């Protein structure tokens, strides 16, 4: 019997979709060690030049007119208008899916972004195909752009999202509220004190991690300037990602700051730095929030991308794992209050209560069982 060939389609629009794909791929390989797993970035230039151009336009839109994206998100969330948007994107991207399926001949497809999901769904409908399609949703709220009739398995963050989809008419047996998949290594990280020693950080000094994703977004420079007003010395860990300009700005800041500032560019040490920190200041990406939940790391959230990140911030704040800094609110007093009032322990406990560290494993088990049932194994 031939080994299964599993094609995982993701999108490098932010790092969250890629991280989710990596977490699922790792667990799928454990479940099906003989399977051939291929992960494709659907928005990469070498996958499709048009998709890459669309991604670049999206990033420019976020930088200069973020409210325009908010309008798009709300318009595409309606049933009628959302279906039109979905159909347009699926039709544009369907030829690339057709090419990828012809190249890799998958026995199953997993999507962690709605763009390839829509294109595969359209291909299945046009080809009258029964090719198994599983979708891993990477938001903490339900949006029309994720919803397609040709999907065999949906995995979502919360039971509330599952209930919404059931109310929309999706079959209960196709829906599983597993949580958002995170790297299984998060559960085996060394203790905080050990990691602080490893990174040469003061053991007892309050430690704050600043992250802005792989692109170093999220107003990190402004955050540093605000934290400089605090009289108490902090240890500031900054991950600037691939943002060369931000790297240089943080280096200059560190030379004159009264805080201890440690700087990283794009790094594979992010999880260890999260473990070493007492507080995370970041934009509310769903994967970042999910990882912080697993690590019991309190969050101060700011500058969400209008739309899904706003909903992520609402979720984390409502569950007591984060404080959401709204426009006009001062960052430095918020940080001072969190450390002074002893709030962080309670926030850490609430974050852990939201954690779903086993999500990737559950998703992989469910997909494996579906594939084997579909093939009659």
Q: Three-state SS string across the chain, please? A: CCCCEEEEEECCCCCHHHHHHHHHHHHHHHHCCCCEEEEEECCCCCCCHHHHHHHHHHHHHHHHCHHHHHHHHHHCCCHHHHHHHHHHHHHHHHHHHHHHHHHHCCCEEEECCHHHHHHHHHHHHHHCCCCCEEEECCCCCCCHHHCCCCCCEEEECCHHHHHHHHHCCCCHHHEEECCCCCCHHHHHCCCHHHHHHHCCCCCCCCEEEEECCCCCCCCHHHHHHHHCCCCCCCEEEEECCCCHHHHHHHHHHHHHCCCEEEEECCCCCHHHHHHHCCEEEECCCHHHHHHHHHHCCCEEECCCCCCHHHHHHHHHHHCCCEEECCCCCCHHHHHHHHHHCCHHHHHHHHHHHHCCCCHHHHHHHHHHHHHHHHHCC
What pLDDT shows up at residue 242?
79
pLDDT of residue 373: 83
Residue 238: CB partners within 8 Å, gap ≥ 6? 209, 210, 220, 224, 250, 261, 262, 263, 264
How far from 59 is each of 52, 121, 263, CA to CA, in Å? 11, 26, 24
Would residue 345 be called left, alpha or beta, if left means φ above 0 and alpha means ψ between -120 and 50 degrees? Answer: alpha
Which domains, from first to last, does the chain contain? Answer: 5-182+357-375 (3.40.50.2000), 185-354 (3.40.50.2000)
pTM score of the predicted model: 0.90
What pLDDT was estimated at residue 82?
A: 47
pLDDT at 376: 63
Per-10-residue mean pLDDT of the chain, 377 residues long, equals 88 87 96 95 87 73 57 52 68 89 96 94 94 96 90 97 95 97 94 96 96 64 93 94 87 95 92 97 93 97 82 95 91 91 91 97 96 75
Query: Can you tell me which residue has the tokens 């969190």?
Result: 338
């Amino acid at each position: 019997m031939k080994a299964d060939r599993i094609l995982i389609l993701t999108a490098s629009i932010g790092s969250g979709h890629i991280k989710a794909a990596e977490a699922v791929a790792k667990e799928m390989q454990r479940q099906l060690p003989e399977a051939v797993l291929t992960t494709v970035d659907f928005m990469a230039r070498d996958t499709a030049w048009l998709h890459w151009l669309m991604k670049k336009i999206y990033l420019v839109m976020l930088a200069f007119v973020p409210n325009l994206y908010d309008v798009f998100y709300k318009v595409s969330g309606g049933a009628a208008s959302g279906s039109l948007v979905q159909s347009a994107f699926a039709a544009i991207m369907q030829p690339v899916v057709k090419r990828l399926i012809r190249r890799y001949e998958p026995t199953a497809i997993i999507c962690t972004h709605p763009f390839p999901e829509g294109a595969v769904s359209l291909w299945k409908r046009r080809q009258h195909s029964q090719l198994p399609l599983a979708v891993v949703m990477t938001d903490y709220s339900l949006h029309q752009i994720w919803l397609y009739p040709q999907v065999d398995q949906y995995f979502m963050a919360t039971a509330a999202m599952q209930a919404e989809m059931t109310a929309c008419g999706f079959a209960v047996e196709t829906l599983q509220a597993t949580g958002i998949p995170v790297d299984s290594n998060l559960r085996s990280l060394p203790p905080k004190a050990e990691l602080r020693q490893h990174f040469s950080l003061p053991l007892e000094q309050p430690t704050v991690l600043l992250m802005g994703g792989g692109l170093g977004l999220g107003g990190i420079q402004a955050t540093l300037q605000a934290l400089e007003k605090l009289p108490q010395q902090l240890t500031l860990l900054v991950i600037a990602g691939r943002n060369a300009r931000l790297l240089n700005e943080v280096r200059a800041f560190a030379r004159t700051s009264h805080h201890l500032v440690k700087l990283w560019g794009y790094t594979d040490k992010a999880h260890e730095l999260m473990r070493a920190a007492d507080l995370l200041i970041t934009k509310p990406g769903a994967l970042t929030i999910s990882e912080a939940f697993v690590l019991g790391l309190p969050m101060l959230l700011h500058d969400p991308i209008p739309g899904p990140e706003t909903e992520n911030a609402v979720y984390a704040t409502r569950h007591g794992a984060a404080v959401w800094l709204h426009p006009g609110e001062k960052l430095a007093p918020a940080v001072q209050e969190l450390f002074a009032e002893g709030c962080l322990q309670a926030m850490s406990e609430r974050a852990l209560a939201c954690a779903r560290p086993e999500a990737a494993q559950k998703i992989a088990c469910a997909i494996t069982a579906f594939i084997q049932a579909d093939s009659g194994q």
